[in-house]
Amino acid sequence: MENIETIRHSTAHVMAHAVENLFPDVKIAIGPSIDDGFYYDFDKSTPFVPEDLAKIEKEMTRVVKKNSPFVRREVTKAEAKEIFKDQPYKLELIRDLEDETLTVYEEGGFVDLCRGPHVEATRKVGAFKLLSIAGAYWRGDEKNPMLQRIYGTAWATKEELEEHLHKLEEAERRDHRKLGRELELYSIEDEVGAGLVLWHPKGALIRKIIEDYWRDAHYKGGYDLVQTPHIARQELWVTSGHLDFYSEGMYGPMEVEGQPYRIKPMNCPFHLAIYKTRLRSYREFPIRWAELGTVYRFERSGTLHGLMRVRGFTQDDAHIFLTPDQLDSEIERTLRFSIEMLAAFGFTEYDIYLSTKPDGKYVGSDESWEQATNALRTSLEAAGLEYKVDEGGGAFYGPKIDIKIKDAIGRIWQCSTIQVDFNEPERFDITYIADDGKAHRPIMIHRALLGSIERFFGVLVEHYAGAFPLWLAPVQAVILPIADRHQDYAHSVAEKLSAKGFRVKVDVRNEKTGYKIREAQVQKIPYMLVVGDREVESEEISVRSRDLGDLGSKGVDQFAGELSTELGS
RNA sequence: GCCCACGUAGCGCAGGGGUAGCGCACCUCUUUGGUAAAGAGGAGGUCAUGGGUCCGAAUCCCAUCGUGGGCUCCA
């Protein structure tokens, strides 16, 4: 069995071959294998149109059927330049390669500069499908020309391809933008502005539940809650340095009584301002200040995406001030808290990254970087968490740990981040009095567990496909009277359940039960309680579960008890 | 921001140089129906916005705004 990456990369060659056959004027750039498939970048005078994909696929099938062998050849740089004399992108690659001997692969007359390996012959490529046409900068640099990229997916067998395509459909079904509209959770409107979220009643209710849980967990977890304004004098951002290194992410100044003010893109300067309101002692450390802080960042229009990337969002932020010797235990504590919080929302699989000192510009001494990085590393190990190291991936102000969660269909989302900051304590010149009676500089940690409420909410919607667990469901049960004469009883059931703290609604519309049930299922309401003559008579309710169907009839108190059990309360 | 595509009723979509249609949703009436869609009728759109071409623009052109797939960037 061929290696899947080899198959995908070979399929990329076959595609480029097919494209060249169909469009002789194209210049070819690069075509690697990627997760689930491959792509190839082309420079073509006119854009590809969607119908081209089918044509190219057909031509690819023809290339495959010829079963031409992939032939590897070693050539000198000079020979390579001759072979690719009409391919400017290949020439650029050749120029930049350091080796004197290069390899090319040839298949049925199509030659590509390539390290290989490849499948034996074209028939050995597996099942493939072209998916989309997109723009991509040559070598990923926005100063370079924009090429046209064709994405495809490729698998060893037809069954795997089908399975993958099915997964793509499933992802589409779960899309939080589609579900957000269907379930009336939120919307983003032209007349309000791109990347600015309107939370509708049900979405806002879920958000409140998330936030309440978060605040309680933080308060119990040793944090104090703070709250800070949305704008501040521009001076504050000069002090923090954001105006220097983050100005492209900030909205322009607004004038208030002759003073320039800015909308906040971060919460930290405010927390530092609170810190500075009085002298701090090591005895009160670690100080943990948490805030659901709404920030506004200028994100380029092309990067906006539903709730995942917006211009106004609420960070579940906190800043921790501590002494150097508290670093290890505090990071470990924060990590555990983070994992716990994610688990509470149903996420138990994650990828963890430790990002170390960047190569270029950075602040802080090498010793503090080393100490902090070691603290992050030992905490990860103490907590028994596996992690990968992103060498040089840290911010200029300090190393960090990122946690990316895996959702129900295996997709990865960046959520938690724990960052050490050597920059801002310095800039704000904050100190604490240690046991030696002298002023020392504290260490500061920024951390967000969910990342942003907006993104996390979007991930939650997709993770649960809109069918939120009982504790998060905006409506936990809907009562469905069969005929008008059952409405009084329906309302009495609703009152009983509401009094016990459950979120219930009565569907009094003049519709048949089947219709109401369908609608409740579509709205993904966990429980439907049907009441008709039988239930009025027996003083019970007929319970239907969103997931399990008809559960038969029972008393209201019994049902309430079962709900409480399910909620774990 | 960049490349390509798209923007028609609340939603999903047809149509396409001679001032608009379908399904669902909505409203009214009939119906009071037992676990995923009862029946009939009605209302609703200056075809994203602003310019231009044309006797005439929703349709063609330009710009702007927005959306989608990507690139770059990132919570």
pLDDT in tens, A401-413: 999 998 888 888 8
pLDDT of residue A77: 85
The closest of A471, A562, A467 to A523, measured between CA atoms, is A467
Where on strand B do bases come within 7 A of a protein Cβ?
1-5, 7, 11-12, 30-38, 48, 65-75
Does the pLDDT of residue A37 top 70, yes or no? yes
> Does the pLDDT at position A447 exceed 80?
yes
In this predicted structure, what is the pLDDT of residue A374?
94
As a whole number, mean pLDDT of residues A249-261 equals: 94
Whether residue A415 lies in the annotated active site: no
A32-52 burial code (b ≥16 CB/10 A, e <16): ebeebbbbbbbbeeeebeeeb
Kindly state the helix (H) or strand (E) to which residue A339 belongs, with its residue range. Answer: helix A327-344
Residue A98's pLDDT is: 80
Q: What is the pLDDT of residues A143-181, one digit of tens each?
A: 888 899 999 999 999 999 999 999 888 989 999 999 999
Report the pLDDT averaged over residues A468-496. Answer: 97
Angle at which helix A556-567 crosses helix A487-499, to 10 degrees, equals 40
| Of the candidates A318, A259, A321, A261, the residue with the CA atom closest to the CA atom of residue A293 | A318
Residue nearest to nucleotide B71 (CA to C1'): A136
In percent, how much of chain A has pLDDT > 90?
75
A300: nt with nearest C1' to CA: B1
pLDDT at A325 over 70: yes
Q: How distant is C1' of B44 from CA of A196, in Å?
A: 28
Residue A234 predicted with pLDDT over 70: yes
Q: What is the pLDDT of residues A349-365, one digit of tens each?
A: 999 999 999 988 888 88
Residues 6+ apart with CB under 8 A from A477: A497, A502, A503, A504, A505, A525, A526, A527, A528, A529, A563
* pLDDT of A532: 96
Tell me A442's DSSP state.
P
In sign, the C-alpha dihedral spanning A110, A115, A120, A126 is negative
pLDDT at A462: 94
pLDDT exceeds 90 at position A475: yes
Does residue A268 carry a catalytic annotation?
A: yes
Q: How far does the CA of A27 sit from the C1' of B61, in Å?
A: 31
Q: CA of A58 and C1' of B22: distance in angstroms?
A: 35
pLDDT band at A1 (very low <50, low <70, confident <90, very high): low
Is the interface score ipTM higher than 0.95? no
Distance measured from the CA of protein residue A330 to the C1' of nucleotide B70, in angstroms: 41
| pLDDT band per the 50, 70, 90 thresholds, residue A483 | very high
Which protein residue lies nearest to nucleotide B69, measured between its Cα and the C1' atom?
A134
Q: How far does the CA of A284 sit from the C1' of B11, in Å?
A: 56
Nearest nucleic acid nucleotide to A400, CA to C1' distance: B75
pTM for this predicted structure? 0.94
**β-strands A477-481, A504-506 pairing:** parallel
A400 is catalytic: yes
Residue nearest to nucleotide B30 (CA to C1'): A510
The reported pLDDT for the residue numbered A178 is 94
pLDDT of residue A315: 97
Q: Which residue has the higher pLDDT, A228 or A108?
A: A228
**Is A569's pLDDT higher than 70?**
no
Q: What's the mean per-residue pLDDT of chain A?
A: 93
In angstroms, the CA A296 to CA A468 distance is 28
Active-site choice (A52, A112, A317, A507): A317
Reply yes or no on whether the pLDDT at A2 is more than 80.
no
For A184, counting Cβ atoms within 10 Å of its Cβ (0-12 exposed, 13-18 middle, 19+ buried), the class is middle
Share of residues in chain A with pLDDT > 70 (%): 100
- pLDDT of residue A207 exceeding 70, the answer is yes
Q: Kindly name the residue from A315, A371, A476, A523 that is annotated as catalytic.
A: A315
A486 is catalytic: no
Rounded CA–C1' distance between A458 and B67, in angstroms: 18
Instruction: Give mean pLDDT, residues A390-395.
Output: 90
Distance from CA(A113) to C1'(B16), angstroms, rounded: 48
| Res A296: pLDDT | 96
Judge whether A317 counts as a catalytic residue.
yes
Give helix then strand counts, H and E, for chain A. 18, 28
Smallest CA–C1' distance to B70, residue:
A134
Q: Which residue is catalytic, options A118, A264, A319, A333?
A: A319
Candidate list A297, A377, A486, A544, residue with the active-site label? A297
Mark whether A297 is an active-site residue.
Answer: yes
Give the pLDDT confidence score for residue A460 in this predicted structure.
96
- A104-108, A248-252, A473-477: which has the minimum mean pLDDT? A104-108
Q: Which of A288, A377, A446, A447 is catalytic?
A: A446
Active-site residue flag, A319: yes
Task: Return the closest-CA partner of residue A474 out of A199, A149, A230.
Answer: A199
In our burial notation (b when 16+ CB lie closer than 10 A, e otherwise), range A85-107 reads eebebbeebbeeeeeeebbbbbb
How much is the pLDDT for A507? 95
